[in-house]
Chains A and B, each alone.
Chain A
């Protein structure tokens, strides 16, 4: 399945990924430097922040309480489409997902 990162410089990273991995893990595996993911998915650092393309919003379950709380800690502006990519686990219906990487993570 395809996963696209829109980077802060306007370029795109389009990667083949497998269902069951998180968007954060896919970013790290494919060298997307804009996803720092310092804490490795422990929901402690908010450095894997992404903006989900609105076309996909309805396909995602809303953030759980602990993710929502950590979303108040992002370095870049929090928007309604903000998510922590460690919590976005890819499923077949998310094929083609597009997420934008913010300017700042740390």
Chain B
């Protein structure tokens, strides 16, 4: 079969209107082909599930080592993070990074996290009305960054601001939104790489373990400084948005909340369904290391290629009735956590935090009443800034 040039589109995924409502655009891109050239960014996008999954598994052809974000400033600021490496170097770093995030290690901290989850849910249910995007969703991720990662209160008050800016700064450089986030991004990088030191962090925490790994030769000197950002960068807004999206979906689909309340064993599957439908990280990118064929179309060597996780997750070729929120769907093959060697290293922790909150809520809340919702607009993330709910 002849290898064709991909179809081209002038769809601009980084217009504010696109960021606020990307799904109709993803649909158009999926209809166009397995890979589409985006003229606005002179980049390629993979919008369908099967070729996307295949590309994510193929790190030889689609490298992460030239950054997974859409501009040089942010890709260079994040030099040295695990997300921006390829095997074999990636595998060595990831093993160290992943050690405290393994299921057996997380089981040890589950009682503590559960106590925190129960306490925040008790408090909010007692109040009756609250902002699920802030009061509910931010508590566990912030607590974990300060206690388990071991940064203490040092920098904690700025973490949320930095987290949003980190993802906002990942857009194309010709966007005001992207450039406006650079100063905060630079501040966060300076904090993580210069102010966080082995002496200042909790010796029992995860950052201290990175320094210990360098001391025993498992990491090279200088690597822990960058890898701090692998913990702090994606720990907050991602899990926070997944949590508030869950409440937003359950508020609109009380029948699905009833199913979860009747059988809380559905919660792990419900979490997969939430992130399939409302993927917090909408996309990262790769660079083609050679001329690569994607679904019969040519992606040239050196091209930047967008991995549209959120689009693949709603591909009607893969998920029947993909717009429907169905907690019994069991879509554990979704791409919201990525796929392949870079699959989200924190997914077990994210699942744990969300599961414990939903379990606590399922025991106490019959109905969520949606009183107001304000979307967060961000270059990379999809989520909710404010979600005013009443519970009964």
Query: Which of A's residues lie within 8 Å of B, judged by CB?
Result: 28, 33, 36-42, 44-47, 70, 72-73, 75, 106
Least CB distance from A38 to B in Å reads 5
Residue of A nearest to B344 (CB): A44
A13 CB → nearest B CB, Å: 15
Residues of chain B within 8 A of A37, CB atoms compared: 330, 332
**8 Å CB contact of A106 from B102, B268, B272, B347:** B268
Would you call B107 and A75 a contact (CB within 8 A)?
yes
Residues of B within 8 Å of A75, CB to CB, are 103, 107
Residue total for B at the interface (Cβ-Cβ under 8 A): 19
Chain B residues whose CB sits within 8 angstroms of the CB of A36 once the complex forms: 268-269
A40 and B102 form a contact (CB under 8 A):
no
| B333 surroundings in chain A (CB, below 8 A) | 40-41
Q: Are B332 and A38 in contact (CB under 8 A)?
A: yes
Could you tell me which residues of chain B, from 328 to 373, have a CB within 8 Å of some CB in chain A? 330, 332-334, 337, 339, 343, 347-348, 351, 355
A70–B343 Cα distance when bound, in Å, is 15
What are the residues of chain B within 8 A of A45 when measuring CB–CB? 103, 347-348, 351
Partner of A40, one of B107, B334, B348: B334
By beta carbon, the residue of chain A nearest B98 is A44
Which residues does chain A contribute within 8 Å of B347, judged by CB atoms?
A: 39, 44-45
- State whether the Cβ of B265 lies closer than 8 Å to any Cβ in chain A: yes
Q: Are A28 and B332 in contact (CB under 8 A)?
A: yes
B103 touches A46 (CB 8 A): yes
Residues in B whose Cβ lies below 8 Å from that of A41:
332-333
User: What are 10 A-B pairs with beta-carbon distances under 8 A?
Assistant: A36-B269, A37-B332, A38-B268, A40-B272, A42-B337, A42-B343, A44-B348, A46-B103, A72-B104, A75-B103
CB contacts under 8 Å to A, within B75-118, are 102-104, 107
Residues of chain A within 8 A (CB-CB) of B339 are: 42
CA distance A47 to B252 in the complex (A): 30
Which 4 pairs of residues, A with B, have the shortest CB-CB distance?
A40-B332, A73-B103, A73-B104, A40-B333
Chain A, residue nearest B333 (CB): A40
**Contacts A73-B102, A75-B107 given; does A28 touch B330 at CB 8 Å:** yes
Residues of the B chain whose Cβ atoms lie less than 8 Å from the Cβ of A106: 268, 355
From residue B353, how far is it (CB to closest CB) to chain A in Å? 14
13 more contacts with CB within 8 A, not counting A36-B268, A41-B332, A44-B347, are A36-B269, A37-B330, A38-B268, A40-B272, A40-B334, A42-B337, A44-B343, A45-B348, A45-B351, A72-B104, A73-B102, A75-B103, A106-B355
CB-based contact B268/A47 at 8 Å: yes
Residues in A with CB closer than 8 Å to B103 are 44-47, 70, 73, 75
Chain A nearest CB from B96 CB (Å) reads 14
Across the two chains, which residue of chain A brings its CB closest to B335? Answer: A40
From B332, B347, B351, residue with most partner A Cβ within 10 Å: B332
> Which residues of chain A come closer than 8 Å to B334, judged between CB atoms?
40
* A73, B330: Cα distance in complex, Å: 22
Determine the chain B residues whose CB is within 8 A of the CB of A73 once the complex forms. Answer: 102-104
